[in-house]
Amino acid sequence: MGIGPVVTEVVTAEAVTARVAELGAEITADYGGKTPVVVGVLNAALMFLADLVRHLDFLHEVEFLAVSRFGEGGRVGIAMDTSISLQGRHVLLVEDLVDTGLTLSFLRELFETRHVASLCTVALIDKAPRRIVEVPVEYRGFEVGEEFLLGYGLDHENRYRNLPSLWAVQDFAAFTADPDVLQRVVLSSDRVGA
């Protein structure tokens, strides 16, 4: 099998950059006069958050948390919590992607128990067709289907987070058998930066 059908670039670096700037402008318009805490969910949201906050034209703080899944049902827990209290604060939760909605539902419930003043979510990727639990996503970068995505913070076994664009894995079996295929495609198309 050739490498073409295994991985395909679905969102260019230029499109990602443009959309993040648009999201920053939308959020800036909505948050005038507030000083929210922008909370990134590690690790995948790091790149998105870093670029997004550069487009927020208002005072804000940045915090992080990490979640873990455990048990048969894939229960969600907090692996690393924020370092400050969020009580009474406006919170903008930054997610890499929302698919089933289970993690986001857990986080929204958690923040509500902490009595935040307001809570909005911004997600780079919204995989609405995979939703099990309906959750609000006030700001979304790209709506996609069920494809497995890599790049711009999204990874496979901690690889490919550094790619500036988004790639869909078209043949997951072939990809997992040879995960270097994406690296070869990127290198062959001269898409890596200096």
Q: What's the whole-number average pLDDT of the chain?
A: 92
**Phi, then psi, of 40 in degrees rounded to 5:** -95, 140
Does residue 151 fall inside a structural domain?
no
Active-site residue (options: 51, 96, 99, 126): 99
Determine the pLDDT at residue 194. 38
Does residue 50 fall inside a structural domain?
yes
Does residue 115 fall inside a structural domain?
yes
Q: 118-126 and 75-80 as β-strands: parallel, antiparallel, unpaired?
A: unpaired
Average pLDDT for runs of 10 along the chain of length 194? 72 97 98 95 96 97 91 79 97 96 94 97 95 95 93 95 95 93 83 44
Does residue 53 fall inside a structural domain?
yes
State the CATH number of the domain containing residue 36.
Answer: 3.40.50.2020
Determine the pLDDT at residue 71. 63
CB within 8 Å of 53: residues ≥ 6 apart: 24, 38, 60, 62
Query: DSSP string spanning the chain?
Result: --STTTEEEEE-HHHHHHHHHHHHHHHHHHSTT---EEEEEETTTHHHHHHHHTT--S--EEEEEEEEEETTTTEEEEEE--SS--TT-EEEEEEEEESSSHHHHHHHHHHHHTT-SEEEEEEEEE-GGG-SS----SEEEEE--S-EEEBTTB-BTTBSTT-SSEEEES-HHHHHH-TTHHHHHHHHTT----
Number of domains in the chain: 1
Range of the domain at 60: 15-145
- What crossing angle do the helices spanning 13-30 and 46-53 adopt, rounded to 10°? 60
96 residue type, one letter: D
Quote the CA–CA distance of 182 and 150 in Å, as a whole number: 9
Does residue 126 fall inside a structural domain?
yes
Does residue 65 fall inside a structural domain?
yes
Does residue 121 fall inside a structural domain?
yes
What are the structure tokens assigned to 57, written together?
């034209």
Does residue 10 fall inside a structural domain?
no
pTM of the full predicted structure?
A: 0.90
171 is catalytic: no
**Phi, then psi, of 159 in degrees rounded to 5:** -115, 150
